[in-house]
Amino acid sequence: MNKFYGTGIAMVTPFQTDGKIDYEGLEKLINHLIAGGVEYLVSLGTTGESATLSSEERKQVFAFTSKIVKGRVALVAGIGGNNTAEVIETIKHFDINGYDAILSASPNYTKPTQEGIYQHYKAIAEATPLPVILYNVPSRTGSNINADTVTRLAKDFKNIIGIKEASGNFDQINQIMRDKPESFLVISGDDPVTLPMIALGAVGVISVVGNALPRKTSNLTRLCLAGDFKAAQQPHSALIDFTRLMFVEGSPAGVKTALKHLNICGDTVRLSLVQVSSNTAQRIIQETDKLV
């Protein structure tokens, strides 16, 4: 699974001002990211506003993304939800052509027990022909995949190959690193902690910031993976303010503002998300200009 070492990008979904999907913008974004040297792309994760797309729109975005990528980098599909049966049906009808794995967030809102989370992922693992990357993001889902559950899933299912870990809980991360199978991949799900997570043994990041700054993000990740943390401190520090601004008024509104300034795609988001305030937008533009 070396294709998932390095920098993955949780891609935004560009929209036109009327809210329709902007496929021209999506093509520009894909080419921008590949030219920026990233190792893989994630289509329709949380950053892609997948919750606001219809099932038909998701099919179209998945197919279009695969067509444009053309195997140039690895490709991951975000397929998750809190209705396990519906997730499995989606997987069964998913055209896997061009895709290398599925990223599936822990069920949101319902706050399942650890056994419920285990059984949810067990059902997914048994239904998909593709490898599965778990996604733990308690700030969005309302529940945490405990370290014991992560290692249990990793040991019980060979096609559960890794986790995008975004809990921010380093005690938990330490436990996962200690107890996981050697081949199981831990991937940073938080841009600000990519450096320390790789220092603990993570194999890279699935980044939001990298939508706008793929070259800087991937260069930082490579320095960390090479063990040159002293050299990595400078680019890590340079991205702190920019990264904070990406999330100060919600994601992906922040990074879409930067992408609009870079003439990659527009900054339209779908409700219940809204665009960042003019003050934050100006700060994002100023910080972007410092880094490009």
- Comparing C-alpha atoms, which of 32, 124, 21 is closest to residue 63? 21
What pLDDT sits at residue 81?
96
Q: How far apart are CA 175 and CA 28, in angstroms?
A: 40
164 is catalytic: yes
What pLDDT sits at residue 1?
65
At 104, list the tokens: 């599936």
pTM as predicted: 0.97
H-only helix segments in the chain: 23-35, 55-69, 84-92, 114-127, 138-141, 147-156, 170-179, 194-200, 214-225, 229-238, 240-247, 253-261, 278-291
What pLDDT sits at residue 262?
98
5 is catalytic: no
Sign of CA dihedral 38, 43, 46, 52: positive
Token pair 């599925």 in the structure block, residue = 102
User: Could you say which of 118, 121, 135, 256 is catalytic?
Assistant: 135
3-state class (DSSP) for residue 7 = strand
Q: How far apart are CA 44 and CA 9, in angstroms?
A: 11
- Comparing C-alpha atoms, which of 75, 6, 15 is closest to residue 259? 15
Sign of CA dihedral 62, 67, 71, 72: negative
Q: How confident is the chain (292 residues) per 10-residue block, as mean pLDDT?
A: 94 98 98 98 97 97 98 98 97 96 96 98 98 97 97 98 97 98 98 98 98 98 98 98 97 98 98 98 98 95
Taken as a whole, the chain contains a residue count of 292
In the beta sheet, which residues pair with residue 163? 134, 186
What pLDDT sits at residue 41?
98
User: Could you say which of 28, 164, 216, 256 is catalytic?
Assistant: 164
What pLDDT sits at residue 95?
96
Q: How far apart are CA 237 and CA 19, in angstroms?
A: 35
